[in-house]
Amino acid sequence: MEEQASTCPTCGADLAAGQRFCGQCGSERPAMPDATRAGALAQGRLSWEADVGLLTNPLLLRQFGTLLAVTGLVMFGLLSLLFAVQGEWESIPMALLATLVGVGVLALLMLVVVLLFFGNRFRARFAVSETGVSFETVDRRAKAANRLAALLGVLGGSSSTAGAGMIGLSRESEAYGWRGIAVATYYPRSHSIALRNRWRTVAFLACTPGNYDQVAAFVRQHLADRAAAGPSPLPRLLGRTLLVIVASLPVFLLPYPFELDLLLPLIMLCFALATVWLVHLFGWVVIATALLIAAQIVLIALGTRESMFAWRGAYRTYEILDTSDWLALALAAVGLVYLVVSSWRAARGRVPSALSQDYAEGEE
């Protein structure tokens, strides 16, 4: 049961449903009576609004730290790969330095946005029910920021900005069923509850001091009633990631005259990793880029060249390849076939991405 709209007992101003403090005089709304709260729990639903401290909530700080760490690992890995395939091993320490600078700048920007734009506060509506938990963005500044980022990204041609805005829009309202939640971690001091599936945190509940105990009891009861969660998918996801990287490497290491511009192989690798972790439909992009790379290799092999010796005349590239060249081409072909087949299965929905699997398990 959600707190209903009422009036402030101090100044008589209107209080919206779930509003904790009066917007006119700042008085705190009277707590919901115990009998009313018990009735809400008995009906199987409790809904409330809360202000979340973005830099003072330990759970959110941990999430920010994880985001920065993952961003740094991906950035360093890609830069190191580019330097390695070009034989510039001595530049890898510079890749580490560039990664540290990039992550530091990202952290500083996040800090500025949190403090200046949000004022370290984010208002949201939470609910627990018999079917699961839900979250809804109430903060107008957050909604405006998501829409502004998406619009500016489209107008400015920045895919990263537009993507961040679209992700924010898609996450303004989320719901997870109990069967998609395996473990809950309780933080009484910050009145927060972290909800995890089999391998990561998928949601959190920012409670008020007045309803934390009731919400925690509600969550414990429903997690106790559900069946035991299966094994973590993380080893399987890491295995698929390793296979994608191993399958892509021979394309980056092709010998002369099959050396390709690194842009296309890099796009293929990035989208193949995104197919594993984010959206399985990215597999279509992997298939398209892999076929383009294969076509380029075939065209180079069939290309005609003029010999420096007049008696030899023209020849095709494949006619002068040695054993090592054929071995490199064979490894690249095997890698491309694996990427095409695995991406085809993913794009057809037979092998879901990590994120897609989480959403499927968490549907109410």
Unique residue bearing structure tokens 């072909």: 333
Which of 188, 184, 176, 151 has its CA nearest to residue 166? 151
- In angstroms, rounded to a whole number, what is the distance separating the alpha carbons of residues 135 and 306? 67
Mean pLDDT (the chain) is 84
Does the pLDDT of residue 35 top 80, yes or no? no
What is the predicted pLDDT for the residue at 126?
95
CB contact at 8 A, 252 and 85: yes
Quote the number of domains for the chain: 2
pTM of the model: 0.79
Pairing of strands 45-53, 121-129: antiparallel
- In angstroms, rounded to a whole number, what is the distance separating the alpha carbons of residues 92 and 99? 11
Q: Flag the least confident range among 135-139, 205-209, 294-298.
A: 135-139
Q: Which of residues 119, 136, 170 is at a domain's end?
A: 119
Going by pLDDT thresholds of 50, 70 and 90, the confidence category of residue 157 is: low
At 21, the amino acid letter reads: F
Q: Which of residues 92, 119, 146 is at a domain's end?
A: 119
Domain that holds residue 286: 234-362
Which of 289, 288, 243 has its CA nearest to residue 266? 289
Look at residue 325 and tell me if it is in a domain: yes
Look at residue 159 and tell me if it is in a domain: no
Which of 236, 233, 239, 253 has its CA nearest to residue 335? 253
Does the pLDDT of residue 3 top 50, yes or no? no
Going by pLDDT thresholds of 50, 70 and 90, the confidence category of residue 41 is: low
Going by pLDDT thresholds of 50, 70 and 90, the confidence category of residue 322 is: very high
Look at residue 339 and tell me if it is in a domain: yes
Look at residue 347 and tell me if it is in a domain: yes
Q: What is the pLDDT of residues 68-78, one digit of tens each?
A: 998 899 899 98
Q: Which of residues 73, 90, 119 is at a domain's end?
A: 119
CB contact at 8 A, 333 and 251: no
Look at residue 95 and tell me if it is in a domain: yes
Does the pLDDT of residue 52 top 80, yes or no? yes
Which of 163, 190, 168 has its CA nearest to residue 113? 168
What is the predicted pLDDT for the residue at 216?
92
What is the predicted pLDDT for the residue at 105?
92
Q: What is the 3-state secondary structure (H, E, C) of the chain?
A: CECCCEECCCCCCEECCCCCECCCCCCECCCCCHHHHHHHHHCCEEEEEEEEECCCCHHHHHHHHHHHHHHHHHHHHHHHHHHHHCCCHHHHHHHHHHHHHHHHHHHHHHHHHHHHHCCCEEEEEEEEECCEEEEEECCHHHHHHHHHHHHHHHHHCCHHHHHHHHHHHHCCEEEEEHHHCCEEEEECCCCEEEEECCCCEEEEEECCCCCHHHHHHHHHHHHHHCCCCCCCCHHHHHHHHHHHHHHHHHHHCCCCCCCCCCHHHHHHHHHHHHHHHCCHHHHHHHHHHHHHHHHHHHHHHHCEEECCCCCCCEEEHHHHCCHHHHHHHHHHHHHHHHHHHHHHHHHCCCCCCHHHHHHHHHCC
Does the pLDDT of residue 38 top 90, yes or no? no
Look at residue 212 and tell me if it is in a domain: no
Look at residue 306 and tell me if it is in a domain: yes
Instruction: Give me 173's structure tokens.
Output: 């309202």
Look at residue 132 and tell me if it is in a domain: no
What is the predicted pLDDT for the residue at 332?
97
Instruction: Give me 50's structure tokens.
Output: 């809360």
